[in-house]
Amino acid sequence: MKPRIPLRKRLLVRMLITSVLIAVCSVAATAWLAVTTTTSALREEQGQDLAADNSILARLSGYAATHRDWTGVQHTVSVLAAQTGRRVALTTGDRVPLADSAPRGTSLPPRPAATVDPLHTDTYTESGAQLSGIDPRAVGPYRLTAKERERLDAVARKRRVCYDRSGLETKIAHTPAGRPYLTDPDGEQPTGYFPTECGYELNNPTPIEQKALDGLTEGTRSCLNRKGLDGDAPLFLAFDPKGHTDASRFAAKYAKAGDAADMRTVQSCIDSAHRTQLDPYVAPVAELFLGIGDQPSARFDMSPANKAKVVGAAGLVLAVTVVVTALVATRLVRPLRALTAAAQQPPELHVRVPVTTRDETGILAEAFNDLAERRERLEAQRKAMVSDIAHELRSPLTNIRGWLEVTRDGLVEPDPALLDSLHDEALVLQRVIDDLQDLAAADAGTLRLHREPVRADELLDQVAAAHRVAADAAGVTLHTRSEDTPWLDADPVRMRQALGNLVSNALRHTPADGTVTLAAHPDGGQVVFTVTDTGTGIAPDDLPRVFDRFWRAEKSRSRRTGGSGLGLPIVRHLVAAHGGTAEAASEPGEGAVFTLRLPGAPAPEDG
């Protein structure tokens, strides 16, 4: 039995691994290209969309901070939609449309993108962010008049000149309310020493601002009184450098030292009073809806760089595929070419091929070599069989021809003894021809069997009776033994022939006063026949060949007394035709045992 091929060396597994490697390379290259290009495109697009969304919200929040209502916002909405390619829609909290860049009747997105509320969301102080607090553009009553702006601008210019003389480089900026303030070139608060001669007039509130601060003070005091804090103490208000109300300094006048809860209460009252003060000056809260617009931008741009990546990856995968396929194909084709060359050689050479692998091609090479070896052996057997057949037929024919010639020449009278001798020679010829015919039918698969229920003990008795005379003549005792009278479904004539051949063979090899025993017994679902003799036995080296055609254990034995050498091969074929097996066992000097195993059958029902 051939050893199993290791899994890693099987041709199917190797081809599957090759295919999987190629597929993995292709998928990996495609996935890498898709991820890199798509991720880059999506990140860029998401960044653009987010920036556009924040820009839209900041513009609309600024509009709400500087207008008392949304009456004129449609123009701003249309401009934003045109600039960003997005649909922009504003509604009240209960979805009443205020402005929309889409045609009337177009359904809104399922959820708003943001809420426009400048009193609670600061989109101005930090670009791109939505901070919690009041939008600085919501100035309301703090907006300076034109005269106040001119006066403060003049003060700011003088202060800048003063700073320049002191070596501080500054520039003038303005708050949304119109108040000027000084910053460094980077737009931050100047740091370092501030000369006192430059004055602090720029930090004082104008009359319009003071009026608004007084209103904020009253609102804050009312809130503090409601929450149980002293709101009758004098209030002070300061501005940071950008002109915003410094609520922390304002609250510090009220909070008890170290009382964080009072600080939070005061801060809450200031914020509440400030929002109440600004509420009449800003637009109502609105919901912002954003859509994709009528002309969405391209999601993916197959740029020349991306095209080059795709072509490069495809070329690399193709090159790897070609190289791997060429290597695998070469390795597979090499032993096949060797097999083809060996098969094309003349049959009489019996050429073998080298076995270099342990996969399917290696197994095929071994099978080819086995086939060549069997052909060579069969050819030798065929030549030997032809020679043996010729010799088997030549001996009796030569005897018959010789006696006929001398009788024709008148040298010998055709008396009964001569006729008996010629008859014996003819029987030898007939036996050889019958044996050859049986073997030919068995080889061709045309051996006919006429099956019927047969009792094993009756079959043994019939064979023993047929060979009783020969056994008595040889001085050999012939016994039969049967256990449980097993039955089998067989051709009785062919079974008598098979057992008879074994008995004849045993009688020839058993000396006088020896014993030949025929036995039968059931073994599971089989019937086992044994023919045991007490003869000389068979050498161990000869046991594997006892069923070969024209083989004899003793080459020196006469053809007439030693048989034709076809009896045991006929036994094997007859038993195989019944679905059984034939075996031989022997110990030199202790006789031999031939065993036939055939399928058993149930006993027939009595009719």
Per-residue CA distances from 458 to 224, 455, 491, 494, 570 (Å): 129, 5, 13, 14, 22
Average pLDDT over residues 425-454: 76
The token duo for 542 is: 């000869």
Cβ neighbours, 10 Å, residue 10:
16
> Tokens 């002109």 identify what position?
243
Is residue 453 over pLDDT 60?
yes
The strand pairing partners of 288, in sequence order, are 90, 114
Per-residue pLDDT for 70 more than 90? yes
Q: Check whether 138 has a pLDDT greater than 70.
A: yes
Q: Which residue has the higher pLDDT, 11 or 116?
A: 116
The per-residue pLDDT for 255 is 47
- Output the pLDDT for position 521: 93
Residue 132, beta-bridge partner list: 121
Query: Structure tokens of 74?
Result: 């449609």
Indicate the SS3 state at residue 148.
helix
Q: H-helix or E-strand containing 502?
A: helix 492-508
The pLDDT of residue 487 is: 92
Q: Which residue has the higher pLDDT, 446 or 207?
A: 207
CA distance 494 to 572: 12
Measured CA to CA, the distance from residue 85 to residue 79 in angstroms comes to: 10
Pair of tokens at residue 257: 């030292």
Q: Is the pLDDT of residue 446 over 80?
A: no
pLDDT tens-digit series, residues 220-246: 888 888 887 766 655 555 555 554 544
Helix/strand/coil (H, E, C) string of 161-188? HHHHHCCCCCEEEECCCCCEEEECCCCC
DSSP 8-state secondary structure symbol assigned to residue 228: T
Amino acid at 76: T
- Which residues make Cβ contacts (< 8 Å) with residue 321, sequence separation at least 6? 22, 25
pLDDT (0 to 100) of residue 545:
77
In angstroms, the CA 333 to CA 329 distance is 6
Digit-coded pLDDT (tens) for 455-480: 999 999 999 988 898 899 999 999 99
Three-state SS string across 420-455, please? HHHHHHHHHHHHHHHHHHHHHHHHHCCCCCCCEEEE
Q: Pick left, alpha or beta for residue 258 (phi over 0 → left; psi -120 to 50 → alpha; otherwise beta).
A: left
Contact 267, 251 (CB under 8 A): yes
Contact 456, 486 (CB under 8 A): yes
Query: Cα–Cα–Cα angle for 437, 442, 446, nearest 5°?
Result: 90
**∠ CA 39-40-45, rounded to 5°:** 95
The residue behind tokens 């090899």 is: 509
Q: What percent of the chain is modeled with pLDDT above 90?
A: 19
Single-letter amino acid code for the residue at 462: Q
410: left (phi over 0), alpha (psi -120 to 50) or beta: left
Q: What is the pLDDT of residue 44?
A: 52
277, 503, 512, 550 from 66: Cα distances, Å = 14, 128, 140, 123
- Which range among 125-134, 354-363, 482-491 has the greatest average pLDDT? 482-491
DSSP label at residue 579: T
The token duo for 78 is: 């249309």
Beta strands in 545-588 (DSSP E): 581-586
Mean per-residue pLDDT, 517-539: 91
Residue 303 clears pLDDT 80, i.e. is over it: no
pLDDT tens-digit series, residues 83-135: 888 899 999 989 899 999 999 888 988 899 889 999 999 888 888 788 888 88
C-beta contacts of 459-464 below 8 A and 24+ residues apart? 459/492, 459/495, 459/496, 459/499, 459/520, 460/499, 460/518, 460/519, 460/520, 460/529, 462/492, 462/496, 463/496, 463/499, 463/500, 463/503, 463/518, 464/503, 464/518
Q: Between 373 and 203, name the one with better pLDDT.
A: 373
pLDDT tens by residue, 406-424: 888 888 888 887 787 778 7
Give the 3-state secondary structure percentages of the chain, helix then strand then coil, rounded to 5: 55, 15, 35
Confidence of residue 30 (pLDDT cuts 50, 70, 90): confident
Predicted confidence (pLDDT) per residue in 35-48, tens digit: 776 665 555 555 45
Mean pLDDT along residues 384-402: 73
Give the model's confidence band at 355: pLDDT under 50 very low, under 70 low, under 90 confident, else very high.
confident
State the Cα–Cα distance between residues 396 and 405, nearest whole angstrom: 14
Average pLDDT over residues 190-210: 73
**Predicted local distance difference test score (pLDDT) of residue 53:** 83
pLDDT of 185 > 50? The answer is yes
Closest CA to 580 of 567, 596, 568, 566: 596
How many C-beta neighbours within 10 Å does residue 212 have? 23
| Residue 100, strand partner residues | 89
For residues 136, 138, 143, 146, the Cα torsion angle rounded to the nearest 10 degrees is: 90
Contact, 224 vs 269, CB < 8 A? yes
Structural domains of the chain in order of their starting residue, each with its CATH number: 1-132+285-293+301-344 (no CATH), 140-281 (no CATH), 360-441 (1.10.287.130), 448-601 (3.30.565.10)
User: Tokens standing for 315?
Assistant: 């070329």
* pLDDT score, position 560: 43
Q: What single-letter amino acid sits at 401?
A: R
For the ranges 7-11, 114-118, 599-603, the lowest mean pLDDT is seen at: 7-11
- Whether residue 532 is predicted with pLDDT greater than 90 in this model: the reply is yes
Tokens of 116: 């426009």
DSSP bridge pairs for 115: 287
**Model confidence at 558, in pLDDT bands (50, 70, 90)?**
very low
- N- to C-terminal Cα separation, the chain: 49
Is pTM beyond 0.75 here?
no
Q: Which residue has the higher pLDDT, 180 or 312?
A: 180
Q: Map residue 527 onto helix, strand or coil.
A: strand
Mean pLDDT of 392-411: 80
- Specify the higher pLDDT residue, 64 or 377: 64
